[in-house]
Structure 1
Amino acid sequence: MIVIIKEKAPELLSCFKCSEYFILWSPRKATRVAAHLPVNAPDLCERAFFRIVYAMKWFNIPPELVINVDQVGVWVLPNNSYTFHEKGSHQVDVVAKDEKHCYTALTASTASGAFLPFQQVWARKTAGSLLSQNSPRMKDAIHHGFHFASAASVTSPWSHFSTFKTMKEWIIHILVPYYLSVIESNPDLPSDQKCILFINIYPVHTSKDFTSYVYAEHPFIVLIFVPGNCTGAFQPADNSRSK
């Protein structure tokens, strides 16, 4: 506002102060209606917990093979969801709040405290959308097993969210090598040892394509889902790792 006054009528600023008090603005956070916890959330979370317990006991699954997966969006250009708006406002829009110049980081950790290498998912369809092989520390990332993938979304070329394609690549390039390393390091585990994949109930995860692929190609994986709208209460990564 001050910039506009200086441009249109700079003489006004000689006797007028464009204060926050004058314009009745205060710092406000951009707001949208969020999903609420279901009324039976405690029951849903308890059921999910006992699914994990039952699978661990029935298949003799060690903590190293109880794997929690989550995705988090990371902005290339970080932005702040706070702005100035009239006091008392309940619905506040922020320019560029929905800016999509970002990528999805797929992170995974185990019940034993180990971290799996990260997967970074970018929009578009080709390797040209990924980071350059000459990027700083790229060799270190590759050495540690990080995986870089293009989403190749069928709904939007600008979407960076995980897709069936990137989830398959994550299993092949990150989960399977980790799983095999655990089997090799523990001679007491059978070659067909089961592992638990505790994952959000996103459409890409519950799709027939993904579940059929897991059951057919990787039968050692036991899929257990975080109850719907309960990620804030029962997704370990949301409550610790991604923050």
Structure 2
Amino acid sequence: IIAHLAEDHPDVFQHKLHGSDQLFHAGLGFVRRFLHNQLNWSFRQATKAAQKVPIDYKEQCYALALRCAWLIWTTWIPSACVVNSNQMQLQLQFGGFTYAERGAKQVSVIGKEEKRACTVMTGLSMSGVLLPFQSVWQGVQDVCMPYSNRPINSIMEEALAAGHLFSLSQGTYWLTHPTMHAYVNNILAPYF
């Protein structure tokens, strides 16, 4: 919602709220009211448990932070040269839950049994530079990727111009050795 408002009506963020000096912002409350009142949607609670974290995760994170700080300090590594990269799954179909009209008894979901996802590889330098993303899609042909990996849409054209990388992987949508090479060669190395 915020992205659409910023793109189509950026002036809305300069309007003051009724009887206040505060400027309008599309906060969580606004979004909830908009979905509820304008679209007649309600959010359904997920039923699947999240991934478990180790019991001593705080201690492990603290020890890692100390090791990194010591290494950076003793070897004089510039902050721009420390990049944290992470891959995360992006699900395009959230199983059996979707937005629907409140009170609906039958809610249809296309591809309920199908699992469609990609992996997004992100990178952020310690100096605050957000690197372009890489998304990995399972398949062997470009038609498996958004817009067939061609800039035929302004969104895709903008993403490619910003340096975002769209990659294919035959057996899985997770990063593999070849897709990791593509990330390093096309995103990480040019940053340095």
State the TM-score, normalized to the length of structure 1: 0.48
Per the alignment, residue 232 of structure 1 pairs with: none
1:162 and 2:175 equivalent? yes
Equivalent position of 1:110 in the other structure? 125
Deviating beyond 6 angstroms after TM superposition, the runs of 4 or more aligned structure 1 residues are none
In 1, Cα distance between equivalents of 2:112 and 2:71: 41
**Residue of structure 2 equivalent to 1:44:** 60
Q: CA deviation at 1:49?
A: 0.6
**Structure 2 residue aligned with 1:133, among 131, 143, 150?**
150
Q: CA deviation at 1:119?
A: 0.7
| Residues 1:116 and 1:38: Cα distance change in structure 2 (over 3 Å) | same
The answer to whether the 8 Å contact 2:133/2:164 transfers is: yes
Give CA-to-partner distance per residue, 1:118-142, whole Å, 9 cap, x none.
1121111233433241431333322
CA-atom RMSD, angstroms? 3.1
Q: Is the 8 A contact 1:67 1:109 kept in 2?
A: yes
Counterpart Cα distance in 2 of 1:135 and 1:117: 20
Bigger mean CA offset, 115-124 vs 29-38: 29-38
| 3-state secondary structure, aligned to 1:71 | strand
Equivalences, count = 139
8 Å Cα contact 1:30-1:82 kept in structure 2: no
**Structure 1 CA distance, aligned partners of 2:118 and 2:92?**
7
C-alpha separation in 2, matches of 1:80 and 1:69:
31
The Cα shift of 1:82 comes to 6.7
Residue of 112, 131, 135 corresponding to 1:120: 135
Q: Measure the CA separation in 2 of the matches of 1:77 and 1:140.
A: 24
How far off its partner does 1:77 sit? 5.3
Task: Percent identity, please.
Answer: 27
Matched, 1:143 2:161: yes
Unpaired runs of 5+ residues, structure 2, are 1-42, 100-108
Q: What is the SS of the residue equivalent to 1:29?
A: coil
The code of the aligned residue for 2:115 comes to: K
Q: Distance in 2 between matches of 1:135 and 1:100?
A: 26
Distance between the aligned counterparts of 1:29 and 1:96, measured in 2? 19
> How far apart in 1 are the matches of 2:162 and 2:116?
25
Equivalent residue of 1:149, what SS?
strand
C-alpha distance in structure 2 between counterparts of 1:143 and 1:71, whole Å: 22
Deviation sequence 1:180-227 (CA, Å, 0-9, x none):
xxxxxxxxxxxxxxxxxxxxxxxxxxxxxxxxxxxxxxxxxxxxxxxx
* C-alpha deviation, 1:115, in angstroms: 0.7
Contact preservation (8 Å) 2:120, 2:133:
yes
1:152 to 159, 170, 181: 170
Q: Which structure has the highest strand share of the two?
A: 1
> What is residue 75 of structure 2 aligned with on the other side?
59
Q: Which amino acid letter does the alignment assign opposite residue 147 of structure 1?
A: L
Query: Which residue in 1 is equivalent to 2:23?
Result: none
Structure 2 residue matching 1:170: 3-state secondary structure: helix
CA contact (8 A) 1:152 1:165 kept: no
- Conservation of the 8 A alpha-carbon contact between 1:125 and 1:150: yes
Structure 1 gap segments, 5+ residues each: 1-26, 84-93, 154-158, 180-243
Q: CA deviation at 1:165?
A: 1.6
Q: Which residue of 1 aligns with 2:35?
A: none
Q: Which residue of 1 aligns with 2:26?
A: none
2:62 maps to a residue whose letter is E
Larger radius of gyration: 1
